[in-house]
Structure 1
Amino acid sequence: MGTEVLLVAGFTAHDVAEEVWRAWPGSVLVRHDLRGLAEGVVRRWVDGELSVLELAHGCVSCTLRLDLLPLLERLGGRVVVHLDPVLEPEAVCFALRGIDARVEAVVAAVDRTTWLADATGDDTLDERGLGAGDGDERTVAQVVVGQAEFADAIVLTGAGDTPALEAVLDRLNPLAPRRDRDALDVAELLAAIPETARRGRFDDGFGVLLHGQPPLEPAHGAAVVHFTERRPFHPMRLHEAIDVLLDGVVRTRGRVWVASQPDVALWLESAGGGLNVGNLGPWLAAVEDWSEVPAERRAAASAVWHPRFGDRSQELVVITSSASAEEITAALRGALVTDEELALADELEFVDPFAQWHDEMEEL
């Protein structure tokens, strides 16, 4: 039957993981401490028994590949994995595809007192003393937002009345049930996870971006901006406009079409002050043979097909905490090519900062 895995993530997840373990019959609790990862040292507990591991290469992927995955295969049965804060659940679930394991749920602990500030800040993990070895340039925001966004259930820790935080979480992850740590009933929480929960599954970058029908009306400063357009961005103007996505914004995710790269869909993702831009793959309009393309994507592209542009389009979902939705929309719209530029797009030579940026990202 393979291994049943329940992941617990978050900076304040220690007690939550203990409670989940006690409430899940027959489970084993696994913990990792990666604070010595830069020196190639990983501390790991299995039901309280400590092992000190020395890895030839101190990196997160080595920890997963050389320790966690073989351990889960060896243990079998039910395993609660309390993730070190630098281990993001999405990356762990991606790695689990290589073994006979099933993700039962991802539970994230969200600290009422710090999460919103962390999610909109630009501190790096390294600046907090949490960096996972050389070359780890992730921000705290990228980690905490990713944990809450990928979770099937959320446990709120810390004290205080936090309507702004609740409003952001309503829009970031509307499907995940939320419970207070002080009144936590683990069995009830796990039972409240909906049938449509991801349970370790990944989003298709060409698929639906507005998951779970988040509320679209603003509340307590939080808002959802759903930006769609059927013309390309001017690459330099988009580059200049990106700053509007990095202040007072919790999350941006979506597909980008720039005039300088007409055949390639770019993926833009931000959390707080941290930003990634990558290559999502070709637009179907640039693909001659669709035989290997999933049927769902073919159907979705056909439904919106444009006689000139095919399936090329802009779609970004921006979740704000305090930024103006109107200013974000105006900045993005102002970065689109003009009618004159669109008419000459095949002849113009655009300076493209995203091409060099993407190459640098691939080297990290």
Structure 2
Amino acid sequence: MTDLRPPLTLICGLNAAANAELAETLRAGDPATAVVHHDLRRIGEGIVRRRVRLGARDQLTTLELAHGCVSCTLREDLLPLLRTLSQRPEVGRVVLHLDEAMEPERVVWSLTNVLVGDRTVLDFLRIDAVVATVDVATWLGDATGDAALSDRGLHGSPDDERTLAQVALAQVESADVLALHGTAPDAWTAATTAAVLDRVASTAPRPALSTLDRENLLAAVPRHARRGAVADPHGTLLHGQPPLDSDCGIALLHYTARRPFHPERLHEAIDTLLDGVVRTRGRVWVASQPDVALWVESAGGGLGIGHAGPWLAADDGPAWDAVSPERRTLASLRWDPVFGDRAQELVVVTQHAAPSEIRAALDEALLTDAELADGEPAWRHYPDPFGEWHAEPCEDTETTRDDVTASSRKENGQQ
């Protein structure tokens, strides 16, 4: 059956000029393409500037929001606007040019789950690609540094504590295609950038932005691309065939274990997932919280820990047929007669840290044989530093794996 919904293309990236160039490339020569952009630079004042271009029309509107945050912008303006555009007969395609501070996966979650009236936006539009621009002169420094978005004036709200690295990596990990902008300052930067991208976004083609038009950009989207699908925190963590050997000092550690972490020892080991590490992503099983998986992400000295939902083996876990085929397959492969699908799995991309040292530190945080023998009733009484959570603003608008997040930045060598 032919899908009659107009296509929606998302553009993201930290470089405003590159994003604007890509948006213009997708718009060029097609009066039926609407380009939507929200500028969040004054969101702390409750002000967002919205620009909508369609054919010869170029409309700039200043919006005043009751709450200065990205979630409010999505709920109060962007989602209703996209639904309206999808119903206009002169609109054949929508390009959503995201602000530099926005992560596409969070936006797609809202497009998929937040009702506008009685329907969601994706009842009216279909995502055909998520494209991230990568400024090859600066991306490596952003992705491996510890600067905050606020240091560059890119924060999405006054209390946005995310680092540039967290956003830079989240953007490329969500993208179907990476459009490379500019040139690297030297061969080492070019090679190291490629080594990082090979490990965090191995399935995304990387054409040069200067060579693209709309047709060859969309043709570059892989056949099995995510096209905005929100990643299952209980799904596979390694996509494509990322290199497992070291290149330019960049290495990948795939850590797995079949016993729980002691909460206090895991907390002590957290620094190993920050120092000399480009990216950490994965789910952990903490003995004091045996019913739920915790999701761990780190980048640029920023750490996020949140609930990833219950294990299938938990008493209140989801029904087998209520989860994705991918999750069922993974659970079947590792099912334990006592602990079910509970397991540790982390993917760590390192730059200066030794993967062997990270593995050793995580192994030390696992329960000992004696602790394991004590059983779950004893584990539940362990002191748990992961039991306190700090909710994000407007947390009720999003319930993804990071709906409750604790964030920290490394300052002067201290967490």
| Cα 1:322–1:294 shift into 2, 3 Å | same
Taking only aligned residues, the RMSD between alpha carbons, in angstroms, comes to 2.1
TM-score calculated relative to the size of structure 1:
0.93
Equivalent residue of 2:207, what SS?
Answer: strand
Instruction: Name which of 144, 147, 152 aligns with 1:123.
Output: 147
Q: Report the counterpart of residue 409 of structure 2 in structure 1.
A: none
Instruction: Name which of 61, 74, 88 aligns with 2:103.
Output: 88
Instruction: Name which of 14, 17, 22 aligns with 2:20.
Output: 14
Instruction: Name which of 29, 34, 41 aligns with 1:35.
Output: 41
TM-score calculated relative to the size of structure 2:
0.82
Moved more, 175-184 or 339-348: 339-348
AA of the residue aligned to 1:290: A
Matched, 1:304 2:334: yes
Instruction: Name which of 50, 73, 92 aligns with 1:44.
Output: 50
Q: Report the counterpart of residue 319 of structure 2 in structure 1.
A: 290
Alpha-carbon deviation of 1:2? Answer: 3.4
| Cα 1:134–1:292 shift into 2, 3 Å | farther
Q: How far, CA to CA, are the matches of 1:302 and 1:358 in structure 2? A: 34
Show CA shifts across 1:309-362 (max 9, x none). Answer: 211110111122332211211111121111112112433531111111467883
Alpha-carbon deviation of 1:209? Answer: 0.9
AA of the residue aligned to 1:102: R
Instruction: Name which of 341, 351, 355 aligns with 2:387.
Output: 355
**Structure 1: gaps spanning 5 or more residues:** none
Q: How far, CA to CA, are the matches of 1:344 and 1:24 in structure 2? A: 67
Percent identical among aligned pairs is: 55
Contact 1:278–1:358 (8 Å) recurs in 2:
no
Q: Report the counterpart of residue 172 of structure 2 in structure 1.
A: 148
Q: Report the counterpart of residue 395 of structure 2 in structure 1.
A: none
| Cα 1:356–1:193 shift into 2, 3 Å | same
AA of the residue aligned to 2:75: R
Show CA shifts across 1:235-257 (max 9, x none). Answer: 11111111111122222111101
Instruction: Name which of 63, 70, 73 aligns with 2:83.
Output: 73
Instruction: Name which of 125, 131, 156 aligns with 1:132.
Output: 156
Q: How far, CA to CA, are the matches of 1:295 and 1:91 in structure 2? A: 20
Matched, 1:157 2:178: no
Q: How far, CA to CA, are the matches of 1:143 and 1:134 in structure 2? A: 16
Equivalent residue of 1:163, what SS?
Answer: helix
Q: How far, CA to CA, are the matches of 2:322 and 2:210 in structure 1? A: 48
Contact 2:320–2:328 (8 Å) recurs in 1:
no
Moved more, 15-24 or 52-61: 15-24
Q: How does 1:1-364 map to 2 (within 5 A)?
A: 1-12=4-15, 13-22=19-28, 26-47=32-53, 48-76=58-86, 77-97=92-112, 98-99=120-121, 100-160=124-184, 161=187, 162-287=190-315, 290=319, 293-294=322-323, 296=325, 297-345=327-375, 346-347=377-378, 349-357=381-389, 362=404
